[in-house]
Amino acid sequence: MWNYSFAVPSLLVVLLYAVYYFFLPRIPIKMNRTFLRLLVLQCAVTVLDIVASCADTNYTHFHIAILYILNITYFVVFVLRSLHFYFFTLNVFKIDYTEFRKKSLIVRIPIFLTFAIILTTPFTHALFYIDESGYHNGYFYNFIYLIMWFLILGSYVVLFVFKDVPKRRRDIRGVFFYNTVLLAGSIVRLMYPDYLLMDTFCLIAITTIYLTYENPDFYLESRSYAFNSRALREYLDEINGKKKYKIMAFIIHNYGEVREIYGGRQMDSGISLIGTYLYRTFRRYKVFYFRSGRFVIVGDDKMDVEKIHKILVKRFMSPWKSSDTELYLEAGYAVISSDNMRSSDTILNMLITTLEVVEKNEDGSINYIDTKIVEAATKGTEVKKSLEYAVDNNKVEVFLQPVMDALTGKLVGAEALARIRDNDGKLVPPGLFIPIAEKNGKINQLGEQVFAKTCRFVKENDIKKMGMKWINVNLSPVQFMRTDLDQRLLTILKKYDIPPEVIHLEVTEDAMGEEGIMEKQIGNIKDKGFSFVLDDFGKGYSNISRLKKYPFINIKLDLSIVWDYCKEPDVILPNLVDTFERMGFSVTAEGIEDEKMAEAMTDIGCDYLQGYYYSMPLPMDEFVAKYGDGASAG
């Protein structure tokens, strides 16, 4: 007599999983499909186990053929279940068993053999047989457990060989645990054949899988029905290179600021409103929320992105509203198509980069992600790497560009300009790395390296003999955020034991945005003996009256207004230079590229000239070679 007391509750629990699993959205990846089949097989095995055992007990009421069919079906689903546990292990390790073909022969042959034994059992009586006294195990009955152990062993082997594939340690522990539970279950079942215990152990294994890999909540954005970024990564990993697909993504304009304006709670509810709207409107496609106001819709290659774009633009014209939320939002859109050449990681990176760009795009049109954007993006990451390497290893180089006295044509000073090198040792222009350094905070270290190397240059060379009175060093507005900037500069200066008068600090007008802080900071640093120069005057919006508040000693005219004037002289620039002189500032003209420009700028009263006409920025040793003997080559 068999004991069902374990089987019935097991069945109920599996049904509970199945129901919960079915009612939440799932991404169609292999692992999930295997799990679904596993749930179905588990139900089938448990039901058949009960039904077949019941029939076997009351064998007199049944035709012998029915008894054979019931028992054979039970054995078939039993083996299929073991097989799916093994498949699940392959899924965790991202092994494609169609590509695994040759090696999987080792598994296929025994499986084939097993099914042959099961199906031929009515004739061979290998697994079981039924006679006048009912059901009996055959001489080969334990083969069913042998094959189960064989598959568990397969799982252990895969676990050992591929242990570096999964990203999380718990993925590996999970595989080990559920396989060990299955092993224990099979041993217990052999020891106590009368209890239908195997199902309970399988249930524990399934619960482990559910808790470790399959809980739908792992893949859902908590605020909506949209999938989360983990789901997006796994989904793209799986379809990339196998299926053609299109991605339509959008980002909420200025997400960070908007979030501050509306508050986190209202914004969260907005994200959930948008996610739910997308889920309901585009049921044919997969909707993902990719953090920070970014939504991603993935469809097949026939997905009509223009139509979706139109629908979304129209929807964003009206507010996102619920009982306690009302948000007016705008979005930027990007589209990317599948491409066999690229890994899913690259595609995601491209998407993120493009969304960063379109976040600021006001017109709301679609941006098709093409190679140009991608090249810019990869270039950006390369520059970032070179920058980090140079800054962290004190490898930022300082080039010097001479500044000439307009009247005598002789060297009076120089500007220190930062340079870094890429992987191939080629110079990267500051226009590329300074903005990145300002964004990621490396500018503080970079600025201090340039400052220190300039101080060292002053210490180690007789700059007076070269005719130089000072060297200009650029300061980024970001550096002024540090309230101890004056102390930091002073410390470096003291280390090289040079007077502060020889260093002039260049700041641009945009640094003066935060007037209160800047005035105070510049005041502090000036008190330590440094002088300030206003860089790039005329590049952007200029405010002359504001200059009075700051202790500048020199104004540098940006090359754009110098060039404009040289092309088409007018009265504005001469008057401006005149005004500066009256206000007590000396004036430097940047971007002097030929003799005529030098003359024109001298004529309107500029004191100093800087530009390629005199010299490109030079590495320090070349600078010394050129000007070191005190000759002011012109």
Q: Interface with Mg ion by CB under 5 A: which residues?
A: 474, 506, 535-536
Comparison of 214 and 590: residue with beta carbon closer to ligand C2E: 590
Q: Which of 625, 598, 628 is nearest to 614 (CA)?
A: 598
Pairing of strands 286-289, 294-300: antiparallel
| Residue 444 touching ligand C2E (CB under 6 A) | no
Q: Say how far apart CA 6 and CA 278 lie, in whole Å.
A: 44
Minimum gap (Å) between residue 479 Cβ and ligand C2E: 7
What is the residue type of 195? Y
Q: Say how far apart CA 630 and CA 151 lie, in whole Å.
A: 84
Q: Which of 442, 481, 440 is nearest to 418 (CA)?
A: 442
Comparison of 92 and 561: residue with beta carbon closer to Mg ion: 561
- Residue 511, Cβ neighbours under 10 Å: how many? 21
Site string for ligand C2E, 417-436 (x = CB under 6 A): xx----------xxx--x--
Q: Say how far apart CA 124 and CA 547 lie, in whole Å.
A: 103
Residues 465-504 that bind ligand C2E (CB under 6 A): 474-476
Minimum gap (Å) between residue 336 Cβ and ligand C2E: 33
| Residue 591 touching ligand C2E (CB under 6 A) | yes
Half-sphere exposure of 429 (CA within 13 A, CB side): 3
Tokens 């304009």 label which residue?
A: 253
Indicate the residue whose CB is closest to ligand C2E.
611
Comparison of 301 and 392: residue with beta carbon closer to ligand C2E: 392
The secondary element (H helix, E strand) that includes residue 85 is: helix 64-92
- The binder of ligand C2E chosen from 143, 246, 611, 620 (CB under 6 A): 611
Angle at 47 between CA 42 and CA 53, to 5 degrees: 125
Residue length, the chain? Answer: 634
Minimum gap (Å) between residue 379 Cβ and ligand C2E: 16
Comparison of 271 and 493: residue with beta carbon closer to ligand C2E: 493
Comparison of 22 and 612: residue with beta carbon closer to ligand C2E: 612
What is the residue type of 277? Y
Site string for ligand C2E, 2-41 (x = CB under 6 A): ----------------------------------------
| Residue 593 touching ligand C2E (CB under 6 A) | yes
Check: CB of residue 452 under 8 Å from CB of residue 395: no
Minimum gap (Å) between residue 581 Cβ and ligand C2E: 21
| Total of residues contacting ligand C2E (CB under 6 A) | 24
| Residue 564 touching ligand C2E (CB under 6 A) | no
Minimum gap (Å) between residue 437 Cβ and ligand C2E: 8
| Residue 535 touching ligand C2E (CB under 6 A) | yes
Phi, psi angle pair for 447, to nearest 5°? -60, -40
Check: CB of residue 505 under 8 Å from CB of residue 473: yes
Comparison of 158 and 414: residue with beta carbon closer to Mg ion: 414
Minimum gap (Å) between residue 490 Cβ and ligand C2E: 18
| Residue 192 touching ligand C2E (CB under 6 A) | no
- The binder of ligand C2E chosen from 70, 617, 618, 627 (CB under 6 A): 617
Name the binder of 581 from Mg ion, ligand C2E, none, CB < 5-8 A by kind.
none
Q: Which two tokens stand for residue 386?
A: 């070179």
Q: Say how far apart CA 159 and CA 91 lie, in whole Å.
A: 11
Q: Say how far apart CA 525 and CA 504 lie, in whole Å.
A: 11
Classified as helix, coil or strand, 297 is: strand
Minimum gap (Å) between residue 610 Cβ and ligand C2E: 6
Q: Which residues bind ligand C2E (CB under 6 A)?
A: 401, 417-418, 429-431, 434, 447, 450, 474-476, 506, 535-536, 559, 590-593, 610-612, 617
